[in-house]
Structure 1
Amino acid sequence: MPTRQPADAARATILPLALAQFICSYAGTAMNVAITPMAHDLHTTVFGIQATITLFTLTMAALMIPGSKLTDVWGRKRCLVAGLLLYGTGALLAAIAPGLGLMLLGNALLEGIGSALMIPPIYILVTVMSPDVATRAKYFGIVSGAGALGAATGPLIGGLITSLISWRASFLLQVLVIAWIIVLIRHLPTPPRPGPAPRFDVTGALLSAAGLLLVVLAVLQSTTYSWTTARTDFSIAGHVLIAEGGVSPVWPTLALGTLTLAAFILHLRRTERRGHEPLLHLRLFGNNVANLGLGTQAAQWLVMQGTFFVTAVYLQNARGYNAILTGLVLTPATAGILASSAAAERFARRRTQRTLIISGFAATVAGLALLLVLVAAGTGVWRTIPGLLLAGLGLGTMLTASVNLVQSAFPDRDQSDISGLSRAVSNLGSSLGTALAGSVIVSAAQPGRHPYAASLTVLTVVAVLGLTSAVLLPRIPTPNNGQARS
């Protein structure tokens, strides 16, 4: 068995790890309510700010697997600190940016790279410092709850700060939180390396980054160009490659990304056959529990981000709510996620992870069904409370259980690999949730149609598919009763 850190070390570690996850999730949603004032102050267009947000998402998603592997090369604590320093520097540059160029460098690139470096160590450290599955569930519940809280309160906190002070103060807040985290972890023990430092697979890193970037970019393009035919011309450097009415650029981009990922898999196989250290070990894909668990993770994040997005768009466009009121209406979902995440340890002691994931999806499906009354003519916004609360309770229950299931299915030596893969899958689900919901809203926006009902229906179908994956999970417990093994 591997040497574990004492339980008090895990307890001391969880606060900075949860804060780091919170600030990354907060950054992903807070900018959405400040697009117009940012465009004005930076002397650019709304499209320029939206491009910055998109590039941040692409950078983080593309580098998540390489960033996770660097925890084996540099060490887990060093990788976490490097990510924090890069992220804090990026947030500071964004806060003082006079124009779009420095904003792109700070927010899109440095914060994106910093996120890719510091998020994987969060989940690795929770796994290797927890002595049993219930304790691990407790800490994953805290981290998952912090992430959900950051994503859900981003529009509310960001809206308040932007309205009362300035959008720049929102970035300064991130700098202060990052500085606090660095202070909290300065005495954090350096976890023992599970083996000698491996050679970093540069070719694998480039292929995985390019493949994931193209796949996420294809998903994000669906909001602008739709999934079927292009709503507008698709141009690169002023040259129209696909005219309006032609096939959507989503599919060529997705095909190119898929081919690149296929080349990545072939490279991994060839690297392993030569006896070298690959960026990602192919043995990870031979674990049926983890494969189904990753599928449930993708579905969960898709449904969560999609639901927040659809509800926010409805409240702001159809009801005329501002960012602050929108955040308040979404409070039941946030409260549900936090409540169920806080109970993760108790749930894990009484029920298997499979049971919790199934129950979470069932509650989420029921919550989305109730939420469909939001689009009914003449109904009050207060009627969304039961649906949002129930969906939040379900999401919080299964988010923690799925992460625990996937991370615990592998020994310590594979934690960097599975952490990067798990976070990449979750990021893909998040991107797909926003893009899918947004594209459905746009497609169904013609008179006589109900775009919000259509989006919620699609999200409900995805939740049902996630429930199906959960039911297919083996009934047998994970090895060592859910504990990571050597």
Structure 2
Amino acid sequence: MSLEAPTVRGRDATNKWVALGVLSVAQLMVILDSTIVNIALPTAQHDLGFSTDNRQWVVTGYALAFGSLLLLGGRLSDLFGRKRLFLIGVVGFALASALGGAAGTFAVLLVSRVAQGSFGALLAPAALSLLSVTFADNAHERGRAFGIFGAVSGAGGAMGLLLGGVLTQNVSWRWCLYVNVIIAAVALAGAVLGLRSGDRPERVRLDVAGAVTVVLGLVGIVFGLGNAESQGWTDTWTVGAIVGGALLMIVFVVIETRAEHPLLPLGVVLDRTRGTAYLAVGISGIGSFAIFLFLTFYLQDTLEFTPVESGLAFLPMVGMLVVRAVVSGAALLPRTGPRPLVPIGCLLGAVGMGLLTGISTTSGYVGGVLPGLLVLGFGFGLIFGPAQNAATSGVSADETGVASAMVNTAQQIGGSIGTAVFSSLAASTITNYLAEHPGSTPQLATIAGYHTVFWIAAAVLVAGAILAAALFRSGPLPIDPDAEPVVAI
């Protein structure tokens, strides 16, 4: 018997996991940037001398470009090759980060953030689609890989807070951007030296009408939600942008039903399993933003933690999330499918949010914050990997890019909704609390605002559990045993 075939299979199996490492590093870079710059903003504002009104655009500019271009980026990876778009995204993200780190004016910093978001929109769906087609032939390997990738996606925001605090406090806010150059260099070296793409790109025309419509529609929605956070829900720009964006998305759906080669084949999202997975990702995005944003406020403003201490405070949740995501992906998902895991994860997330409503001006970290974080980490670990896996399962190889883009789009829109709605709810609660309790202090009113946010986030996660339990199909996800990985190293 020849020994060549087993040797090749063993080498290919090793190559898969090296590919996973490369893709996870790139994913971490994109996720870090959703929070790492937030910590650096006050220092950057002082250094560059821009106004508080302009400060929000450093965050919003990234979100607008990233959220609006994801579907286009995902489809481009299907049309022109996943590895090609991955490499363009990594290099572009690194160059944009270097520009931002060297920025001497607000305008340059803003341009760099928009460029980061644009290249991130190429990189993120390409990475997830590469992962999907690399682990297409074995349910246990696929579950383990998506568990690791999901852990990176879920933990990246908290790691960004920690890294941003360390760099800003001990080096410079500019290194919150420069650090991406180092991360990108690692990802690029791994990709160039090894990622071998078996892409067979479609030779079809790009759906230009669909691309223009969906980009403008998503820009409107993301901009409107961002504007609501600062200007309120009744502001003309808020209402106009959200309504206009929603109407354009309706037009986009009509275009896609008639296009010969649609940007988003509607079968990708109308499939029961994948559609439910996108919903779960969006709902978990809403909940996770409540944690990172408002719990950071509580740690720094009430408990007087430094930025570094605030980042360290999230590490127990990160650890629990990583362990749970890997275990659920490797041991549970291949046997049960996502139907029991995602609802349980959402319910645990709701319990964790409920525990956080016990925080007060006198409660400490260990007694008031840590129990909720541990439960949240356990719950989110059951959501991210299984949902990402389900969102790209059963889709043809030439549509994995756009299916992957929908995962990131759902998470981005969910985060934008969470930030806007929860900020508005917190502000309203604070105002009402002070009016109803004349002798109270602003600090007590602020705590009441946090409680409201956490209770509403818990309700959202409960709703997510009900929907996931009702809509997911029972049983393991479909796996094609004859599929051949198109990525090797």
Q: Secondary structure at the match of 1:254?
A: helix
C-alpha separation between the residues in 1 aligned to 2:416 and 2:319? 23
Question: What's the TM-score once normalised by structure 2's chain length?
Answer: 0.89
Give the conservation status (yes or no) of the 8 Å contact 2:337–2:476: no
Query: Structure 1 residues 217, 56: closer, same or farther in 2, change over 3 A?
Result: same
Aligned match of 1:140: 146
Report if aligned partners of 2:155, 2:318 keep a CA contact under 8 Å in 1: yes
Identify which of 364, 387, 396 aligns with 2:381. Answer: 396
Q: How far 1:417 sits from its partner (Å)? A: 2.1
Pair 483,151 (structure 1): closer, same or farther in 2 beyond 3 Å: farther
2:78–2:399: 8 Å Cα contact kept in structure 1?
A: no
1:87 is aligned to 93
CA distance in 2, matches of 1:65, 1:484: 29
Identify unmatched segments of 5+ residues in structure 1.
231-241, 243-248
SS of alignment partner, residue 35 of structure 2: helix
Distance, in Å, in 1 between the alignment partners of 2:425 and 2:380 is: 22
1:392 positional shift: 1.0
Match of 2:306 in 1: 322
The match for 1:122 is 127
Q: Distance in 2 between matches of 1:199 and 1:478?
A: 36
How far does residue 141 in structure 1 lie from its aligned partner after superposition? 1.7
Paired AA for residue 20 in structure 1? A
| Cα gap change, 1:29 to 1:483, in 2 (>3 Å) | farther
* Alpha-carbon distance in structure 2 between the residues aligned to 1:203 and 1:364: 40
Give deviations 1:127-167, integer Å, cap 9, x for gaps. 11112222112111222222233210212211111111111
Match of 2:470 among 457, 465, 472: 472
Indicate conservation of the 8 Å contact 1:412/1:484, yes or no.
no
Matches within 5 A, 1:10-49: 10-49=16-55
2:241 counterpart (253, 275, 284)? 253
Q: Deviation string for 1:203-256 (max 9, x for gaps)? A: 2111111111111112222211233x44xxxxxxxxxxx4xxxxxx43332111
Change (3 A) 1:70 1:354: same
Distance 2:40 2:386 in 1: 34
Please state how far the C-alpha of 1:395 moved relative to its aligned partner: 0.4
Offset of residue 350 of structure 1: 4.1
Amino acid paired to 1:358 = P
Task: Answer with 27-36 or 89-98: which moved more.
Answer: 27-36
Q: How does 1:360-375 map to 2 (within 5 A)?
A: 360-375=345-360
TM-aligned CA deviation for residue 285 of structure 1:
3.4
Q: TM-score, normalised by structure 1?
A: 0.90
Give the Å deviation of 1:78. 0.5
Residue deviations 1:27-86 (CA, integer Å, cap 9, x gap): 110111111210122221233232121110110000000001111222110100000111
Q: Deviations over 1:254-283 (max 9, x none)?
A: 111011111111111221xxxx21111122
Distance of 1:458 and 1:251 partners within structure 2: 23
Q: Which shows bigger deviation, 68-77 or 379-388?
A: 379-388
Contact 1:22 1:148 in 2 (8 A): no
How many angstroms does 1:457 deviate by? Answer: 0.8
Aligned length: 459
Aligned partner of 2:404 among 419, 428, 433: 419
Q: Which residue of 1 aligns with 2:229?
A: 223
The 2-side partners of 1:40 and 1:295 are apart by 40
Deviation at 1:483, TM superposition (A): 7.5
**Structure 1's 8 and 70: CA in aligned 2 closer, same or farther, altered over 3 A?**
same
Letter in 1 for 2:129: I
Instruction: State the Cα distance separating 1:412 from its structure 2 match.
Output: 1.8
Runs (4+) of structure 1 exceeding 3 A deviation are 474-486
Q: 2:254 maps to what in 1?
A: 266
Aligned to 1:234: none
Tell me the percent identity. Answer: 23
Among 359, 378, 389, the residue aligned to 2:344: 359
CA contact (8 A) 1:409 1:484 kept: no
Alignment partners' CA distance in 2, 1:349 and 1:419: 20
3-state secondary structure, aligned to 1:279: coil
Q: Which runs of 5+ in 2 are unaligned?
A: 1-8, 438-444, 485-489
Q: Indicate the RMSD between aligned Cα atoms, in angstroms.
A: 2.1
